[in-house]
Structure 1
């Protein structure tokens, strides 16, 4: 792909929840409505796919239940693929995940992606609460649980074999005519090599990982084993993106999320996402400033034309024809709570 070619674009949504200077905050209902409107706009603009992340017990993130959000987005869009980015599989029994996504495939045939990861998506206390299901939460079983989901969501289903020699047929849905496309997500050598071994498409989570992109992609491509569903490597990369009508506005809208990332990385208490005004007026210490600067260097921020050019170079450098953008534009205090003006404008400007 030449550096001038604009890659296909997709969207990753964490359903951000923002605060107001008077101490109130956006409600979960308002945050979800803003994301549904964003998904509709992405559909209208021709984006390839729209994924929801899985995070838990975070004041600034309402994407706790990807299957629910996927269902809501599916019925409010026409053509865009909708999915998870991703379901954190150790938090869930494989059969439950298979049933949920088989049902989603029945709701929107041919439009469902099942992105799977093995990170907890939260802190150790919440992880313990999520993983009270015994052996189903064993991270060591992650590869086998992926195989189970692939079998369960297929039209043929799976077979459980007992030590006594008996067999028991299991289907995620009674009469599937198709299956969700399963993607493996990660930011490490482990996820890249596992995706290659299983012959699955792979996504590198560049939006939060600082290093390892080149090595992970090389491992995936060099070790890829063709499977029944995928003959050759298939991958894309995520990126944090803010586009606005001026470079100055883009930098201002990027600041709330940049500061939130810095708080997360320095183990400071999480809070709803600041407004642009709050972020601009806030006092920051030296460590926070360093973290903001380091993260900003990895983000794509500027006018639509500038960011489009940067994404084209980024995609060409890493040999992908698709980039999934996490639209990280913050909101001004006066903007409607059930809309996400900056994120919508980011998608519009990137679409050209």
Structure 2
């Protein structure tokens, strides 16, 4: 059975492109995904990266929700240790009021950047320590419910009274909360809490089978979910020919090589720039083999067949595509022609 398709967007920034142009291109991509019948469109959270403009998932999700009609929008994910649980709950409760029944709140526990950015994010005094992650997930679940969360107030005579807190004053619905991760931890927590779970396969395929097994075998039914629910993420570049798909893959492959070797990061190169540089420095050569094996790069029919087999092998009915196709230098800066092409060709 053909899996449902969704989109994960990091709002890529290429050479010569402004943040405004990159975001315009991504919002147009969200509109196209909506028209093509994709299930959901999530924005990632990353900070201080020259090639990534997806720093604030709730802001981008609000913009995407206002420009789409039926597709679910949300975060993939909000990195909870960077933020106050109440602020996250308020943001996504507001999103649910803007687009009722279409909001996903994907939550992760990684910082999404380096130690300097982590320190800057916490200068305002947030108490979202990583070791309190389970408590803050519970807080968000309660705060976004119509009943709200109850807190005990100390330091005064009526200290045993319960103080009620609501993320929004009069909620009719709530965002759907997903736990995200690339290790055993989030899989086990999602199972214990009875929440849907996504393994970040686009980032690291290591440990995929073990994480899914842990989640499914240990799942505890809850008021939120009565059976395990999961899907997988995957990087994809699809083009009319294999040669074009391989070329459009190269800028992202070179950026990943920079990340893994500790080299300075740059905006994504144009395809021609990446092709010429790779011929002399061979930056991506050591990682291309693994990427070709794990990424979905190629012509439409073959790539769709690989996705169907991948979904069947892991027992999932949905794949979230991260369309990482690069751009040729001649393509407009306020559009993402290669990423649009990937979505269109996968949708058939």
TM-score after normalising by structure 1: 0.96
For the residues of structure 2 that align with 1:285 and 1:35, how far apart are their CA atoms?
30
Q: Which runs of 5+ in 1 are unaligned?
A: 20-24
Partner of 1:236: 231
Q: 2:319 aligns with which of 317, 323, 327?
A: 323
1:99 and 2:90 aligned? yes
Q: 2:43 aligns with which of 49, 52, 57?
A: 52
Q: CA deviation at 1:287?
A: 6.5
Cα contact 2:85–2:128 (8 A) shared by 1:
no
For the residues of structure 2 that align with 1:275 and 1:287, how far apart are their CA atoms?
15
Partner of 2:298: 302
Q: 1:257 aligns with which of 252, 268, 277?
A: 252
Secondary structure of the equivalent of 1:325? strand
Please give the per-residue CA displacement for 1:178-233, whole angstroms capped at 9, x wherever unaligned. 00000000010001000000000000000011300000000000000001010000
1:198 and 2:193 aligned? yes
For the residues of structure 2 that align with 1:190 and 1:132, how far apart are their CA atoms?
27
Partner of 1:118: 109
For the residues of structure 1 that align with 2:148 and 2:128, how far apart are their CA atoms?
22
For the residues of structure 2 that align with 1:167 and 1:83, how far apart are their CA atoms?
32
For the residues of structure 1 that align with 2:322 and 2:296, how far apart are their CA atoms?
10
For the residues of structure 2 that align with 1:243 and 1:85, how far apart are their CA atoms?
22
1:160 and 2:155 aligned? no
Partner of 1:89: 80
1:42 and 2:37 aligned? no
For the residues of structure 2 that align with 1:267 and 1:58, how far apart are their CA atoms?
13
Secondary structure of the equivalent of 1:160? strand
For the residues of structure 1 that align with 2:268 and 2:126, how far apart are their CA atoms?
36
Partner of 1:312: 308
Q: 1:343 aligns with which of 323, 326, 339?
A: 339
Q: CA deviation at 1:295?
A: 2.3
Q: Larger deviation: 195-204 or 285-294?
A: 285-294
Cα contact 1:101–1:114 (8 A) shared by 2:
yes
Partner of 1:22: none
For the residues of structure 1 that align with 2:283 and 2:7, how far apart are their CA atoms?
30
1:209 and 2:204 aligned? yes
Q: 2:100 aligns with which of 109, 112, 122?
A: 109
1:269-288 correspondence to structure 2 within 5 Å:
269-283=264-278, 285=281, 288=284
Q: How many residues matched?
A: 343
Partner of 2:57: 66
For the residues of structure 2 that align with 1:288 and 1:129, how far apart are their CA atoms?
32
Q: Which runs of 5+ in 2 are unaligned?
A: none
Secondary structure of the equivalent of 1:60? coil
Secondary structure of the equivalent of 1:237? strand
For the residues of structure 2 that align with 1:194 and 1:258, how far apart are their CA atoms?
32
Q: CA deviation at 1:134?
A: 4.2
Please give the per-residue CA displacement for 1:74-117, whole angstroms capped at 9, x wherever unaligned. 01000000000000000000000000000000000000000000
Please give the per-residue CA displacement for 1:257-283, whole angstroms capped at 9, x wherever unaligned. 011001001010000000000111014
For the residues of structure 2 that align with 1:86 and 1:35, how far apart are their CA atoms?
16
Cα contact 1:258–1:296 (8 A) shared by 2:
no
Q: 2:133 aligns with which of 133, 142, 147?
A: 142
Q: 1:189 aligns with which of 184, 189, 198?
A: 184
Q: CA deviation at 1:137?
A: 2.8
Q: CA deviation at 1:286?
A: 6.0
Structure 1 residues 50 and 135, CA, compared in 2 at 3 Å: closer, same or farther?
Answer: closer
Please give the per-residue CA displacement for 1:308-336, whole angstroms capped at 9, x wherever unaligned. 10000000000000000000100000000
Cα contact 1:250–1:303 (8 A) shared by 2:
yes
Please give the per-residue CA displacement for 1:48-72, whole angstroms capped at 9, x wherever unaligned. 0000000000000000000000000
Cα contact 2:7–2:320 (8 A) shared by 1:
yes
TM-score after normalising by structure 2: 0.97
